[in-house]
Chains A and B, each alone.
Chain A
Amino acid sequence: MSKQSELIVLTDVVLITVVVQRGVADHVVQVAVEAGAQGAAVFYAHGTGVRQKQLGILGLTVNTEKEIIYIVVPSEQADSMFERIFVSAKMDTPGMGILWMTRLDKMSTYVPHDVAARFGVHTERAAG
């Protein structure tokens, strides 16, 4: 096997999914990145939650257009990240959104070769 076709599987990762009103995602991502997240994916969606309906007329102020943020973090960071997002997205107000966290089986992406080499007996052996 050549060095290029090696696939490194990363473990102990957690996916944090955040649903916020449209326009809030930038702020959340910024906070997450400051807290050590490597990046985030944001996509658009729309929908309403239970609090939005309970608010009555005030529910109109909650935008039904939503942004969904995916952030993948190592499980060590997950709890503090979860908390920071909760605070920065002001989730203690009804209608502001929801977030959850799921354990991931595995994840993989580009890993710089020299970094991989630091862990990699496998690479050395294949190359040699």
Chain B
Amino acid sequence: MAERKLRYGVYLGAVQRHKRQISFAALLDAERLRPKRPPLRAIDLHRLLTPYVSVRFSEQLRAVVPLALMLIGFQALALRTSLLDADSVAFGILAVIIGLMCFMEGVKIGLMPLAENVGFQMPGKTNPAVLLSFSLLLGVAATFAEPAIGALQAAASAISPERSPWLRQLLGPYSHWLVLAIAGGVGLAVSIGMLRTMFGWKLKTMILLIMPLTLGLTAWCAQQPELASIIGLAWDCGAVTTGPVTVPLVLAVGVGVAASTGRSDNPLSGFGIVTLASVFPVLAVLSTAIYLTSQGSMLPIVPPAVGGWYNQTPFAEIIGALRAIVPLVLLLVLVQTRLLGEKIRQRDIFIYGISMAVAGMLLFNLGLTEGLVALGEQAGNNVPWAFSENRETGAPPLYPFALGIGLTLTFAFAIGFGATVAEPALNAMGMTVENLTDGAFRKRMLIHAVAAGVGVGAALGVARILFHLPVWMLLLGGYSIALALTVVSREEIVNLAWDSAGVTTGPVTVPLLLALGIGLGEVVGAAEGFGILAMCSVGPIISVLGTGLWIDMKTRGRKRRSKKA
């Protein structure tokens, strides 16, 4: 065999990727001559897009799927009923996931930078009056854009007009009034929140001023037969408003204002607005209801007109999505260009963000009724079978009464708990809190406290529908405890506890719980099925305040002991 000598280094050089040395300066010169955009192969597109999409997709998947599985699983295992229209529900849920993904991304890259810039520049360039009216408008516009608002209207069809006429009126012919009232409430809350940031008011005092007023109005309404059925809805509206659009947008502006008024050193400056934004809508909705009932003119409930291209499926949703996003965009753009005299930076990315937000909203709305609402209603319809006769077939209850009720309440608790643990906003909040309290209040402890609070709240809310308890008594009781705990708690913990209530009710939880409650209410013959969300908001306030006090006591005890020793 002929022998051939080959230097190992030469062999390796041949096997390896071919290397070539080019001077960097020469490369830069060459690049200057060609078009800017590099040509992309298919593999490049895959490498760029796949991680980007999959991260955002799985984020929403994690929020939606466990809840949906819990609802389906409970029906399958405990009630032995299978899901009706499984494929349309599955498509609906998929649409919700993709819709939320696009929507959140669009808001993040399209609206957030604008809002931050506006919040930072406005206090220096305009006077406080302009800033306050801008805050008001921002709150109103953000509420229109909130995806969960649509769930309220979707819930309307299940309300019986005979038993609670004014509730049906508010959700039917007067639904514009309702949305305006909620939006106005949020707007007011945002401008008062800005005032608070500017003057450094304490949230504790504000809560102690506003809450008794709201509770008093609630108690008064409860005595009026016409208004009693509105209370659940009004308090639920408070929970609906503080969603994924309002909270970050308002915080972005708030942080900017705090920075320019020189109060940015306070890590709590961002907190508090969420609380106000969930209380003021309650006041606004109750007042609207009082005004409308005193006018006393009920409108006939017209079934939605079928004719006209604008009521057909794709067009109606497109119009809805545009109506939700466009006011917010217009407001921010007008302020940016007219008041601040600045251009929109990176226009193509801005336009892309806005179109993503609109497309996402569109998909979300399409999936909402088919997916989440249908699922929640089915669960609500089926769950009472655990302890009472089946409404349709008349079959005997599946379980003895006590066990059935127990199962139902456990189920409600699990939904509340599960939905909260997965909430990404809460995770972020947990980290802030750990820093604030020098590690005394652990992140995991906060998440568990909030989740347990929401769970107990959900169970209570379901129990009150099942046993026909008046919602105002539960609310009054819950908030009285919360107020009492607020008086004795530190300002930091108060901020935290009241805000955690608003953070927990996102665009997935709200439609599911609303539909569940309404389905339940229908089956057990309650006048209305609202109030679960409201109870879910009180729960965490109490549990977080309680945990905070307990931690304070523990650290104080440890200090005393170490002093003695």
Contact = CB atoms under 8 A, between A and B. Distances in A.
Interface of A: 21, 23, 51, 54-58, 60-62, 80, 83, 86-87, 90, 93-96
Main secondary structure of the interface of B (DSSP, over half): helix
Contacts, number: 45
Interface in B40-78: 40, 43-45, 47-49, 51-52
Interface in B1-17: 12, 16-17
Nearest to A59: B349
Contacts of B563: none
A55 B39 CA distance: 9
Nearest to A96: B47
Contacts of A93: 43-44, 47-48
Contacts of A56: 37, 348
A87 B17 contact: yes
A54 B37 contact: yes
Given A87-B17, A93-B44, A94-B44, A61 B38 contact: no
Contacts of B19: 83
A86 B37 CA distance: 22
B352 interface: yes
B470 to A, nearest CB: 51
Contacts of B49: 58, 61
Contacts of A94: 38, 40, 44, 48
Nearest to B44: A93
Given A93-B48, A95-B48, A96-B47, A57 B348 contact: yes
Nearest to B35: A54
B20 interface: no
Nearest to B17: A83
Contacts of A87: 17
B47 A60 contact: no
B36 interface: yes
Contact of A57 (B36, B40, B43, B352): B352
Which of A55, A57, A60, A96: most chain B Cβ within 10 A? A60
Contacts of A60: 52, 109, 349, 352
Contact of B38 (A55, A83, A90): A55
Given A54-B36, A56-B348, A61 B52 contact: yes
The A interface is mostly helix, strand or loop, or mixed, namely: helix
Nearest to A51: B38
Please give me the 6 A-B residue pairs with the lowest Cβ-Cβ distance, nearest first: A61-B52, A93-B44, A61-B48, A93-B47, A94-B38, A54-B36
Nearest to B38: A94
Contacts of A83: 16-17, 19
Contacts of B40: 58, 94
A92 B175 CA distance: 56
Nearest to A62: B48
A66 B506 CA distance: 30
A90 B46 CA distance: 12
Contacts of A95: 48
Given A56-B348, A94-B48, 7 more contacts: A51-B38, A57-B348, A58-B40, A58-B45, A61-B52, A93-B47, A95-B48
Contacts of B16: 80, 83
A109 B509 CA distance: 55
Contact of A55 (B37, B43, B352): B37
Nearest to B356: A60
Contacts of B51: 21, 23, 61
A17 B349 CA distance: 31
A62 B48 CA distance: 7
13 contacts: A21-B51, A56-B37, A57-B349, A60-B52, A60-B349, A60-B352, A83-B16, A90-B47, A93-B43, A93-B44, A93-B47, A94-B38, A94-B48
A56 B36 CA distance: 10
B131 to A, nearest CB: 30
Interface string B331-357: 000000000000000001100100000
A88 B311 CA distance: 53
B48 A58 contact: yes
Contacts of A58: 40, 45, 48-49
Contacts of B352: 57, 60
A41 B476 CA distance: 56
A1 B362 CA distance: 77
A93 to B, nearest CB: 4
Contacts of A55: 37-38, 48
Nearest to B50: A61
Nearest to A92: B44
A64 to B, nearest CB: 11
A85 to B, nearest CB: 12
Interface in B389-434: none
Contacts of B52: 60-61
